[in-house]
Structure 1
Amino acid sequence: YGQGKGEFDGPSGFALDSNEHFVVCDSKNNRIQRYTKDGEYIDSFGSYGSEPGQFNLPWGVDCDENGDIYISDWGNHRVQIFSPDGELKNVVGEFGSGNGQFNRPTGITVDNHGDFYVADWGNNRVLMYNSEGQYIWSFYGDATLSKVARNYMLTNAVPNRLREMGKLESEKYLRRPRSVRIDEDFRLYIPDFESYRIQVYQKDFIELDQTQYAGPLRNPTLEVT
């Protein structure tokens, strides 16, 4: 316990980066610390505040295959993305309940497509973004991925796939999701805290070749009839 190098005050999330180093959210010290697999301190970055690159209780962390670090910034209602060297690359989101907005984001995870998912604790949902930080969709429970409820297809030319989302039904809502994880088979796991269960989803996508998409288009929405 403490505020010095290698010390913690309220650590929350941790992840392994591409170099198999531990990346830890030192929440109450408002910083990110990194360690070797043997537990030796490497470095840290971040400080308290609301400016880009600062934190107000960083909660969740994950790393993509390039080593970029994704942090859910709980008190600032946003996600911040850093390079492997700790340089700020992108800030995503703001306070609110609309599309792409957060109310106390907690867990975060990145899949092998570069899409990332955020547990939006205060809004009782999970939000999905593409690798550029653009909002894709959100869901509130089992019903949003129901086979019978699907009526939208979201397309994304890079990296060449189709995504499907479902129309929200009137049951099976998430209640205070605190974390989220996705595996190599694109199964998404969400601990549904106040419902005392874990919800599991399968991400649907179709790989496209160069003849099946138009490069200039970005995430058009098509309604299926």
Structure 2
Amino acid sequence: MASPTHRAWSLHILATAALTLTALSLAPPSSRAADIPRFEVDASWPKPLPNNWILGQVGGITTDKDGHIWVIHRPRSLTDDEKGAALNPPRSKCCVSAPPVLEFDADGNLLRSWGGPGEGYEWVGREHGIEVDEKGFVWVGGNLDNDNAILKFTTDGKFVMQIGKIAPSKGSNDTTQLGKPAETAIDKDANEIYVADGYGNRRVIVFDATTGAYKRHWGAYGNKPNDDKQAAYDPNAPVAQQFGNPVHCVKLANDGLVYVCDRINNRVQVFKKDGSFVKEWFYEKATLGNGAVWDLAVWPDPKQTWLLTADGENNEIRVINRDDGKVVGTFGRNGRQAGQFHWIHAMAVDAKGNVYTAEVDTGKRIQKFRLVSDALK
């Protein structure tokens, strides 16, 4: 049996070790770790909507050059108990659908709203995707059966141009019609709009952002796309040589790289602007269902060091090193409390590193995550 002195010394050693571990866990992160983006949810954002309004499924979210947040949601996705005040006769005190397009400031104040059918254009059947370019034009799309067009408006909702038609698709190699496009991105220097096209087609397609004239398109690995029936995703099978449906996002970096979300195939493919394939990264390859790569945002530091990817099946956001695609952090999990996600569908980041998220299915909400690390140098 150990002596009292030996037992006392052993307890001293254990206590010292425990204090050391506690100190390590509470110590500030290294300078390198501090550069990785870290966030905390702002549970007070946005502020309550006026006019007894409520959001449906949120089909897209983006930020503009002024740091404002633009949202497109789906009024027709509201259930009767959610839109009770709009029924005839009213079922309940709450609520009425907000207009499809809404603009917020960084504090969560609603600045303006508009959208829906109007003169001179065909409004989409199910809203999907929104982008605001530096000239102050708002681009929206849809992904219902014949939503094979994108629409261009001024920031106050005045119609400017339509590319494609609300009519049947003509396939992944047609240059006049789209195929349920998911998202767009603007190359301001070249005055071009890139379309992740999308839920019907299997390509990225590029148009002139002023005239709508066709420029070029490509499929996975930069090859010509085709619409042959594909086998269901199998993580153990050879990698797909075509994009799956949907091609869910397209993003541009300042160095000319183009990032594409191949959602069902759990990968990001990287291209040059001419469609030349550069590389690809896979994430959570065992993920089935709706896939692991739903949206992507480029970090706003001078070197654009990081990428953020939204995963609507696993309901998390990954922080990725843009050079090599390696995951350096994650946040979020499945759930309906503040900071959690249920089908995180789209994501945007502003110039201050704040992240804004949009949820579909029964999520039907937007959230803000404040940057709390020094990650913008």
**1:9–1:190 CA distance, 2 compared to 1 (3 A):** same
Q: Which residue is equivalent to 1:59?
A: 128
Q: Which residue is equivalent to 2:195?
A: 118
> Which of residues 202, 212, 221 is equivalent to 1:133?
212
Report the secondary structure of 1:77's partner residue: strand
The higher radius of gyration belongs to 2
Q: Which residue is equivalent to 2:252?
A: 182
Aligned residues: 180
**1:5–1:80 CA distance, 2 compared to 1 (3 A):** farther
How far apart, CA to CA, are the structure 1 residues paired with 2:50 and 2:267?
A: 36
The residue type paired with residue 222 of structure 2 is: A
Q: Please tell me whether residue 78 in structure 1 is matched to residue 136 in structure 2.
A: no
How far apart, CA to CA, are the structure 1 residues paired with 2:222 and 2:251?
A: 19
Alpha-carbon shift at residue 85 of structure 1 (Å): 2.0
Q: Give the strand-richer structure, 1 or 2.
A: 1
Q: Which has the higher contact order (CA 8 A, sep 6+)?
A: 2
How far apart, CA to CA, are the structure 2 residues paired with 1:72 and 1:181?
A: 16
> Which of residues 31, 49, 59 is equivalent to 1:12?
59
Report the secondary structure of 1:142's partner residue: helix
How far apart, CA to CA, are the structure 2 residues paired with 1:188 and 1:173?
A: 17
Report the secondary structure of 1:54's partner residue: coil
How far apart, CA to CA, are the structure 1 residues paired with 2:185 and 2:111?
A: 23
The residue type paired with residue 197 of structure 1 is: R
How far apart, CA to CA, are the structure 2 residues paired with 1:181 and 1:5?
A: 35
> Which of residues 152, 160, 179 is equivalent to 1:103?
179
Kept in 2: contact 1:3–1:9 (CA 8 A)? no
Report the secondary structure of 1:191's partner residue: strand
Could you list the runs of 5+ residues in structure 2 that have no partner in the other structure? 1-47, 77-98, 225-239, 276-377
Kept in 2: contact 1:23–1:61 (CA 8 A)? yes
Q: Please tell me whether residue 33 in structure 1 is matched to residue 33 in structure 2.
A: no
Query: What TM-score does the superposition give when structure 1 sets the normalisation length?
Result: 0.71
Kept in 1: contact 2:222–2:271 (CA 8 A)? no
- Identity over aligned pairs, percent: 22
Kept in 2: contact 1:111–1:184 (CA 8 A)? no
Q: Which residue is equivalent to 2:9?
A: none
Q: Which residue is equivalent to 1:219?
A: none
| Structure 1 residues 52-89: Cα deviation after superposition (integer angstroms, max 9, x where no partner) | 16332221111111111111232321100011222110
Report the secondary structure of 1:123's partner residue: coil
Report the secondary structure of 2:140's partner residue: strand
How far apart, CA to CA, are the structure 2 residues paired with 1:139 and 1:50?
A: 33
Could you list the runs of 5+ residues in structure 1 that have no partner in the other structure? 146-170, 206-225
Kept in 2: contact 1:111–1:183 (CA 8 A)? no
Query: What TM-score does the superposition give when structure 2 sets the normalisation length?
Result: 0.44
How far apart, CA to CA, are the structure 1 residues paired with 2:74 and 2:258?
A: 25
Report the secondary structure of 1:78's partner residue: strand
Kept in 1: contact 2:49–2:110 (CA 8 A)? no
Q: Which residue is equivalent to 2:282?
A: none
Q: Which residue is equivalent to 1:159?
A: none
Q: Which residue is equivalent to 1:210?
A: none
The Cα RMSD (Å) is: 2.7
Q: Which residue is equivalent to 2:137?
A: 68
